[in-house]
Amino acid sequence: MSKPLATMYVKGAIPEDIERKSILNISTRNVTTQTHGFHKYPAKFIPDIPRWAIEKYLNGEKEQTILDPFCGSGTTLVEGVLAGHNVIGVDVDPLSLWISKVKTTRLDMDRLIDISDWLIKGIRSGKKGRFMPECETIRCWFSPDAIVKLSIIRSLINEIPDKFGKNRKTKDIQDFLMICFSSIIRRVSNADNESQKTYVSHTKIKKPEEVNNLFLSRLEMFTRKISDFSELVNSKLRRKYVRSSSTTSLKKFLEGEKIDLAITSPPYIKAIDYIYNQMVELFWVGDWFDMQTQKKQNSQKEKYIGDKNMGKSKFVDYRPHENSLHINKLDENLQQVFDTDQKNGHRHSYVAFKYFSDMEKHFCQIKRHMQKGSHYVMVIGDSSVSGVYFETADFLMQIAQRNGFTNVNQWGYKIKNRYMRFDRKGRGGIIKIDRVLDFEKK
Ligand X SMILES: C[S@@+](CC[C@H](N)C(=O)[O-])C[C@H]1O[C@@H](n2cnc3c(N)ncnc32)[C@H](O)[C@@H]1O
Please identify which residue in 28, 35, 65, 96 interacts with ligand X, judged by CB under 6 A. 96
- Shorter beta-carbon distance to ligand X: residue 222 or 338: 222
At 396, give phi and psi (nearest 5°).
-65, -30
Cβ-based neighbour number of residue 329 at 10 Å: 12
In the bound state with ligand X, the residue whose beta carbon lies nearer, of 68 and 260, is 68
CB closer to ligand X, 266 vs 286: 266
Candidates 53, 305, 352, 378; binder of ligand X (CB under 6 A) is 305
The helix/strand/coil state of 110 is: helix
Q: Using the rule CB under 6 A, is 246 a contact of ligand X?
A: yes
Q: Which stretch binds ligand X (CB under 6 A): 41-49, 54-62, 128-136, 189-197?
A: 41-49
**Binding window for ligand X (CB under 6 A); candidates: 181-189, 200-208, 240-248, 403-411:** 240-248
239 DSSP assignment:
E
> In 23-37, which positions are buried (b, 16+ CB within 10 angstroms) versus exposed (e)?
bbebebeebeebbbb
Separation between Cα atoms, residue 212 and residue 216, nearest integer Å: 6
Q: How far apart, in whole angstroms, are the C-alpha atoms of residue 404 and residue 327?
A: 17
Considering the rule CB under 6 A, would residue 383 count as an interface residue with ligand X?
Answer: no
Q: Given the complex with ligand X, which of 41 and 284 has the nearer CB atom?
A: 41
H/E stretch holding 437: strand 434-441
Question: Looking at the DSSP assignment, which residues form a beta bridge with residue 377?
Answer: 263, 438
Choice between 49 and 184, CB closer to ligand X: 49
If the CB atoms of residues 75 and 384 are measured against ligand X, the closer one turns out to be 75
Show the binding pattern over residues 44-63: x = contacts ligand X (CB under 6 A), - = does not.
Answer: xx------------------
Residue 208 host element (H or E): none
Examine residue 102 and tell whether it contacts ligand X (CB under 6 A). no
Nearer residue to ligand X within complex by CB, 34 or 247: 247
Nearest approach, Cβ of residue 153 and ligand X (Å): 25
Q: How many other CB atoms are found less than 10 A from the CB of residue 145?
A: 13
**82 binds ligand X, rule: CB under 6 A:** no
User: Which of residues 391 and 434 has its CB atom nearest to ligand X in the complex?
Assistant: 434
DSSP letter assigned to residue 320: G
CA atoms within 13 A on the CB side of 260: 17
Is position 434 an interface residue for ligand X (rule: CB under 6 A)? no
* Interface residue with ligand X, options 70, 181, 229, 422 (CB under 6 A): 70
Q: Which residue number places its CB atom closest to ligand X?
A: 72
State the nearest-atom distance from the C-beta of 272 to ligand X, in Å.
Answer: 7
Alpha-helical regions (H) of 165-319 = 168-188, 211-232, 251-254, 274-277, 279-285, 294-299
Selected from 41, 142, 353, 376, the binder of ligand X by CB under 6 A is 41
**261: how many CB neighbours lie within 10 A of its CB?**
24
Q: How far is the CB of 98 from ligand X (least distance, A)?
A: 12
Rounded to a whole number of angstroms, the minimum distance from the CB of residue 391 to ligand X is 18
Reported as type and span, the H/E element at residue 105 is none
CA nearest to 35, candidates 218, 213, 181, 186: 218
Radius of gyration of the chain (CA): 22
Q: Is 392 in the site for ligand X (CB under 6 A)?
A: no
Residues of the shown chain interacting with ligand X in the complex, contacts defined by CB under 6 A: 41, 43-45, 70, 72-73, 75, 90-93, 96, 245-247, 265-267, 274, 304-305
